[in-house]
């Protein structure tokens, strides 16, 4: 399966998927993100909802910079709420926990906000009201860059504790083993242990390893393994069960110089497929894109570690990838 795939096979079969859309192949919890800018993701979420324990539509934002003065916090993105869509996916067993992006401040501003009990109370009240108004199953918190300190020493525990008293809470976190040599582990097993009792789960962003300045695989398997080792302590299945290992359904096309292709190859160093081709201007491209083979080995990793998975995002990727979930 891993070594025999060709570009012709992908083109011919990528839209095909099993009719057993309610059958789960992956035994662990499975979370899927959907975004307002990709309407196809909403459609696929309805088709494959039975494969997902949690669906996270990217709907809400709170601008924390308003807290610098006397301004009240406001919840943005209310116009994105789709009650009919929620009804459809819930009917197949998925919980809906929209993402709330806490934005408008950097690391220092976020730490300052989390140091104010009054502001935390205000934020929790705002979010609790939204949960009640829209009948949500919970919320997914993202800070857009966690502060450079231990998370549970930065007031995050208080925020999570209070919000968890009202509804389910999932937290989005960067991987513990950074891709680009940063020494600070931005979310580790100490943070997980401190917060796990209050959280529905932690969605770890184990993707975006490479970028145009350093092209390559999206999420090397060995890097994902190290990330899990930094977050989940050995012999701690209860903590492991709180983790959603990030899986990218998108790919990257990196342009460079040279010639070669078109050909799909299995990169054993990263356990990903790469497609190489030359464009009309003679530039060589490397396309790192998820395949049945790359997804399969990552689901095996998640199963061995006892963690769930989180797909970013539905509507990208190839339809037949859902057969692996």
Taking all residues of the chain, what is their mean pLDDT, rounded to a whole number? 88
β-pairing, 243-248 with 201-204? parallel
What's residue 166's pLDDT?
Answer: 97
pTM, entire model: 0.93
What average pLDDT does the segment 183-192 reach?
72
Q: Looking at 2-6, 239-243, 296-300, which range is the least confident one?
A: 2-6
The answer, yes or no, to whether residue 8 has pLDDT greater than 80, is no
Confidence of residue 73 (pLDDT cuts 50, 70, 90): very high
Residue 226 Ramachandran class (φ > 0 left, ψ -120 to 50 alpha, else beta):
alpha
Identify the burial level of 176 via C-beta atoms within 10 angstroms of its C-beta, where 0-12 means exposed, 13-18 middle and 19 or more buried: buried
The answer, yes or no, to whether residue 260 has pLDDT greater than 70, is no
Task: State whether residue 244 is helix, strand or coil.
Answer: strand
Task: State whether residue 246 is helix, strand or coil.
Answer: strand
Higher pLDDT, 49 or 286: 49
Query: How many whole angstroms separate alpha carbon 227 and alpha carbon 188?
Result: 9
Query: How many whole angstroms separate alpha carbon 322 and alpha carbon 32?
Result: 11
Q: What is the pLDDT of residues 74-111, one digit of tens each?
A: 999 999 999 999 999 999 999 999 999 999 987 778 88
Higher pLDDT, 148 or 35: 35
The answer, yes or no, to whether residue 183 has pLDDT greater than 50, is no
Sign of CA dihedral 298, 300, 302, 305: negative
The answer, yes or no, to whether residue 222 has pLDDT greater than 50, is yes
What average pLDDT does the segment 57-70 reach?
86
Higher pLDDT, 183 or 274: 274
% the chain with pLDDT above 70: 89
What's residue 149's pLDDT?
Answer: 46
What's residue 148's pLDDT?
Answer: 46
What's residue 234's pLDDT?
Answer: 83
Q: Looking at 3-12, 54-63, 278-287, which range is the least confident one?
A: 3-12
Q: What is the pLDDT of residues 126-165, one digit of tens each?
A: 999 999 999 999 999 998 655 444 555 568 889 999 999 9
Please report, for residues 217, 221, 244, 286, 303, the alpha-carbon distance to residue 320 in angstroms, rounded to integers and kept in the order given. 21, 21, 21, 22, 20
Higher pLDDT, 19 or 307: 307
% the chain with pLDDT above 90: 60
Q: What length does the chain have?
A: 325
Spatial CB neighbours of 214, under 8 Å, sequence gap ≥ 6: 180
**Structural domains of the chain, ranges and CATH numbers in brackets:** 19-251+291-324 (3.20.20.80)
Q: To 10 degrees, what angle do helices 117-134 and 156-164 make?
A: 30
The answer, yes or no, to whether residue 259 has pLDDT greater than 90, is no
Higher pLDDT, 291 or 233: 291
Q: Which two tokens stand for residue 103?
A: 């934005």
The answer, yes or no, to whether residue 36 has pLDDT greater than 90, is yes
Q: What is the pLDDT of residues 160-181, one digit of tens each?
A: 999 999 999 999 988 765 554 4
**DSSP readout, 144-180?**
SS--SS-GGGTTHHHHHHHHHTTSEEEEEE--SS-TT
In 176-295, beta strands by DSSP E: 201-204, 243-248, 252-255, 263-267, 272-278, 284-288
């Amino acid at each position: 399966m891993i070594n025999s795939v060709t570009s012709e096979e992908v083109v011919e079969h990528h839209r095909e998927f099993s009719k057993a859309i309610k059958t789960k192949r992956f035994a662990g919890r499975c979370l899927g993100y959907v975004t307002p800018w990709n309407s196809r993701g909403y459609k696929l979420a309805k088709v494959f909802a039975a494969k997902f324990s949690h669906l996270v539509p990217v709907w809400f934002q709170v601008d924390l910079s308003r807290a610098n003065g006397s301004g009240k916090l406001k919840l943005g993105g209310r116009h994105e709420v789709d009650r009919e869509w929620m009804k459809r996916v819930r009917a197949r067993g998925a919980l809906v926990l929209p993402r709330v992006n806490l934005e408008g401040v950097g690391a220092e501003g976020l730490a300052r906000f989390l140091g104010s009990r009054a502001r935390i109370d205000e934020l929790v009240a705002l979010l609790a009201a939204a949960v009640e108004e829209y009948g949500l199953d919970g919320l997914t918190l993202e800070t857009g860059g966690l502060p450079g300190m231990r998370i549970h020493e930065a007031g995050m525990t208080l925020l999570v504790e209070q919000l968890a008293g009202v509804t389910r809470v999932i937290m989005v976190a960067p991987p513990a083993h950074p891709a680009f040599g940063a020494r600070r582990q931005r979310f580790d097993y100490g943070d997980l242990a401190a917060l796990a009792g209050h959280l529905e789960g932690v969605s770890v962003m184990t993707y975006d390893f490479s970028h145009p300045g350093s092209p390559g695989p999206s999420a090397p398997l060995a890097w994902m393994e190290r990330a899990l080792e930094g977050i989940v302590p050995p012999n701690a299945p209860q903590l492991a069960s709180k983790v959603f290992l990030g899986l990218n359904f998108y790919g990257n096309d990196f342009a460079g110089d040279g010639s070669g292709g078109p050909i799909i190859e299995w990169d054993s160093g990263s356990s990903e497929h790469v497609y190489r081709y030359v464009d009309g201007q003679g530039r060589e491209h490397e396309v790192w894109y998820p395949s049945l083979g790359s997804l399969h080995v990552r689901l095996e990793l998640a199963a061995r570690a006892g963690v769930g998975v989180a797909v970013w995002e539905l509507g990208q990727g190839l339809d037949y990838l859902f057969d692996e979930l």
